[in-house]
Amino acid sequence: MLEKSNLFLKNINNLNNQGKKGSQAPVDDILDSTLRPKDWENYVGQDKVKQNLKVIIEAAQQRKESPEHLLLYGNPGLGKTTLAYLISQEIGADIRITSGPALERSGDLAAILTNLTEGSVLFVDEIHRLSRVVEECLYPAMEEFKLNLILGKGPMARIMELKVPRFTLIGATTKLASMSSPLRSRFGATFGLNFYTLEDIQKILTRSSRLLNVEIEDPALSIIAKTARFTPRVANHLLRRVRDFAQVRGQGIITKDSAQNSLQSVEIDESGLTNNDQRILEALIHKFAGGPVGLKTLASATAEEEDTILDIYEPYLMRLGLIALTPRGRVATKLAFEHLGLKPPSRLL
């Protein structure tokens, strides 16, 4: 049994070394690190969330404890990862990054937890996608800072207890309802991130343009902000695309005309709707007479996955008032008909 235990610990150490090499890559893909705010002052928006987090952090510091586990939820690109970085920076702790799908087995979790330092932060993105086995293994780690691992099978199986350093788990999810109740209940505080205001998006774009060393005129800034879907990540992505067009086809300065031409080239209209958004509206109006229509039917008609419509397209279309949800399904509003240049039916007038 001792030999098996040593072999198990050796495998964990090997996984630790592998985790060090690949833990940062997903974050680099999500957001250019040069544009990520490095302090609270430069993190625009989400004021209530920031205020509550600062209180939790300050209270924990006064007690000389690690902050309790935190859960952040909201649509993609609203700043959940950035908040995790700011929290770790505020408490002066190391941060390890992983995601729910990356933790397939309990050994994967053990590899990360046993490699943490005292008081560090573990950020798990897409935490709603944790496997049941990993999730159940995580419970004692969150509550008692220990791992109960099963060695062997059948009558010879033994439970091995490993102590892990005290840490703060920060979970992020776009689907809060998909998380199990036992996992949600183990977080000390849960915060929802909302869509940003147009004013906040303009502030973010102003800061990003300065960091990218690109000159942008106010009318162009307003155009990009209006098409950013109230989401900082989208705003920064659009800014980089517009900058590329201005650099290659213009004088390097983002003007109103260059911004409009750039967005037209990538097929984004003045309201920030993409071709896929337009296709959903057109299907809803032309194929189903404006609805109501169910999600499954709409997904089949547009060749889109149900989750994609539910998580990516629908929230923005609803925020613009182009579609509405009813007990019978989705319906196109008067604004949707007008956006497509169509006369609304008499029932909507």
CA atoms of 249 and 226, how far apart (whole Å): 23
**Residue 5 pLDDT level (bands cut at 50, 70, 90):** very low
Same domain, 180 and 279: no
> Which CATH number do you get for residue 100?
3.40.50.300
pLDDT above 90 covers what percent of the chain? 28
For residues 168-192, average pLDDT: 92
pLDDT by residue (tens digit) across 66-86? 899 999 999 888 989 999 999
Q: Whole domain around residue 220: which residue ranges?
A: 198-265
Q: SS3 for 180?
A: coil
Catalytic sites, residue numbers: 80-81, 125, 174, 233
Mean pLDDT over residues 237-266, rounded? 86
Write out the two tokens for 253: 């300065």
Mean pLDDT taken over the chain: 83
In this prediction, residue 265 has a pLDDT band, given cuts at 50, 70 and 90, of confident
- 314 belongs to a structural domain: yes
Write the CATH number for 308.
Answer: 1.10.10.10
- 199 pLDDT tier (thresholds 50, 70, 90): very high
pLDDT at residue 164, as a whole number: 84
Half-sphere exposure of 33 (CA within 13 A, CB side): 6
Report whether pLDDT(25) > 60: no
- For the cut 70, the answer to whether the pLDDT of residue 280 exceeds it is yes
Residue where a domain stops, chosen among 265, 299, 316: 265
pLDDT of residue 13: 42
Q: Does one domain contain both 168 and 118?
A: yes
Q: What is the predicted pLDDT for the residue at 225?
A: 93
pLDDT for the residue 151: 60
Q: Is it the case that residue 44 has pLDDT exceeding 80? A: yes
Instruction: Clarify whether residues 65 and 206 are in a common domain.
Output: no
**Quick one: 123 and 181 in the same domain?**
yes
In this structure, the answer to whether residues 188 and 205 fall within a common structural domain is no
The CATH code of the domain that includes 245 is: 1.10.8.60
Are 131 and 26 found together in one domain? yes
Within this chain, do residues 95 and 156 fall inside the same structural domain, yes or no?
Answer: yes
Of 135, 161, 192, which residue constitutes the final position of a domain? 192
Does 9 lie in the same domain as 66?
yes
Q: Which long-range contacts (CB under 8 A, 24 or more apart) does 260-266 make?
A: 260/223, 263/223, 263/224, 263/227, 263/238, 266/241
Give the residue, 86 or 12, on which the prediction is more confident.
Answer: 86
pLDDT, average across residues 85-101: 90
Residue 318 lies in a domain: yes
Q: Are 76 and 307 in contact (CB under 8 A)?
A: no
Give domain status of residue 270, yes or no: no
Instruction: Please list, in sequence order, all residues whose beta carbon lies within 8 angstroms of the beta carbon of residue 84, skipping any fewer than 6 positions away.
Output: 72, 95, 97, 121, 123, 170, 172
Residue with the bigger pLDDT between 249 and 70: it is 70
Locate 283 and state its tokens: 């299907």
Residue 24 lies in a domain: yes
Give the tens place of pLDDT for each residue, 309-348: 888 888 889 988 899 888 888 898 889 888 888 887 777 6
Domain tally, the chain: 3
pLDDT band at 232 (very low <50, low <70, confident <90, very high): very high
Predicted local distance difference test score (pLDDT) of residue 349: 63
Same domain, 177 and 240: no
Examine the fold and report which residue of 240, 265, 290 is the final residue of a domain before the chain moves on.
265
The per-residue pLDDT for 290 is 81
> Do residues 236 and 115 share a domain?
no
pTM for this model (two decimals):
0.80
Shared domain check, 259 and 157: no
Buried b (16+ CB within 10 A) or exposed e, 191-201: bebebbeeebb
83 shares a domain with 220: no
